[in-house]
Structure 1
């Protein structure tokens, strides 16, 4: 009988692979898989993909189309290995453009459909800016499920739930990174980890107010963070940490329990209040902006790679 921490975690939380590595997905058999521009870039740089990428680059009308085709092709491969959702991210360039995000999302879903993957299998990822959240609101009405990512602040979580997003990805490790930089000598172990505390607060708020939006903790720095979020709806975990969980034995105790929540009414968060709350939350404001820049930097590297292949 497998008594690994990973096996126990799967009994209380849906485990999601945070990777585009097909071999890792085959090994750990997650429920879902998530990708982002950085992970797509890593997957695209694998030597066994180079010839196929060159074909895509040359066949595409432009680099923008080539990037979309690569993301959907990798997502399609992943969809054959997991039973649940595959998350595909809209370009970070569109983080502050609601209408362009909606248009791009429909285009990606249509591209998946041509590959035989239905919309019910795909989560369109957008940054948790006000514009990204409002795009998700419309996409959910259009029958396209969404994953709101780069989520660092409670105001973002409230607005995502109000919009009816299928899933949110509150980042744990990057919140910890920010606090460590501000207070290098601070004790951030266990429940003192501000990223862990953030996800717990969101989880308890969602369950207390009856929101259907799935809470999926993301961006982990160590096993301790994962252990302290056991029982969360979903956790998206890198192959390295999945391997550590798989190799460790011992008892894993549930930390979050939806059944313990008692429902109460919640008031919607309007745009002025959202923007003020984000402005007032230095960490969330800093990390959201930084995350968008980093994802965009990796997308530009992918565009450069495809541009070179296009010319060969």
Structure 2
């Protein structure tokens, strides 16, 4: 079960890296906009430096924000060149023209995370264009009263049957329970905020049990 952190906050990234479970980091323009206003490329480079400092070249996804296909390609190359990180993946949203962007970037040797996916058909097209990752938005599917689990499981089965190397990232996680459900449905990776990841460690019986063990031992020591 691979877990990514969906954040651009340096403290959150460092916190998760230090706990040893993190397999990657994803960002998007909305996430970056929550950080202090600055040139965002140096900020992304700080994230890359954190990953290096922890001795791991984990995947880092950064999204283009241009709207036209030619501009997306140019911006993707600019980001890769300026970030200078060996395992950067460029996020490109799904779309007819955007499929051409994905195909071009892959030909240019740039790994692509195709994002904003809500259907199996979208995932199939992105995978066929040789995206490294296909990112399904679980919470936003629920927002429009669609069950995301069949989309995840159908996409996984489709990728496996076709022999595609693309991996499913499930994001837009609203509850820690969604993380396990997405994995059980077939996601290769789930990316979530630090709040949801922290909650995965918590259960009332865990707290009760640990308190009981320590209380009994402290009584015995007296």
The TM-score bracket by the shorter chain reads 0.7 to 0.9
* 1:72 aligns with one of 40, 44, 47: 44
Shift in CA distance, 133/70, structure 1 to aligned 2, threshold 3 Å: farther
User: Which structure has the highest helix share of the two?
Assistant: 1
Unaligned ranges ≥5, structure 2: 206-222
Q: Does 1:43 align with 2:35?
A: yes
Q: Does 1:103 align with 2:98?
A: no
User: Which structure has the highest strand share of the two?
Assistant: 2
- Cα distance in 2 between the residues matched to 1:84 and 1:77: 11
* 1:32 aligns with one of 21, 24, 38: 24
The Cα of 1:27 is off from its aligned counterpart by: 2.3
Unaligned ranges ≥5, structure 1: 1-12, 46-52, 54-65, 180-192, 251-312
Structure 1 segments of 4+ aligned residues over 6 angstroms from their partners: none
Corresponding residue of 1:197? 150
* 2:95 aligns with one of 103, 109, 129: 129
Corresponding residue of 2:192? 237
The Cα of 1:199 is off from its aligned counterpart by: 1.3
SS in 2 for 1:32: strand
Corresponding residue of 1:174? 140
Corresponding residue of 2:6? 18
- Contact preservation (8 Å) 2:92, 2:113: yes
Q: Does 1:90 align with 2:84?
A: no
* 2:131 aligns with one of 165, 168, 171: 165
Shift in CA distance, 44/209, structure 1 to aligned 2, threshold 3 Å: same
- Contact preservation (8 Å) 1:37, 1:89: yes
- Cα distance in 2 between the residues matched to 1:44 and 1:241: 23
Corresponding residue of 1:278? none
- Cα distance in 1 between the residues matched to 2:35 and 2:154: 34
The Cα of 1:75 is off from its aligned counterpart by: 4.0
Aligned length: 197
- Normalised by the size of structure 1, how large is the TM-score? 0.59
- Cα distance in 2 between the residues matched to 1:249 and 1:143: 48
The Cα of 1:240 is off from its aligned counterpart by: 0.7
Higher RCO (C-alpha under 8 Å, 6+ residues apart): 1
SS in 2 for 1:170: strand
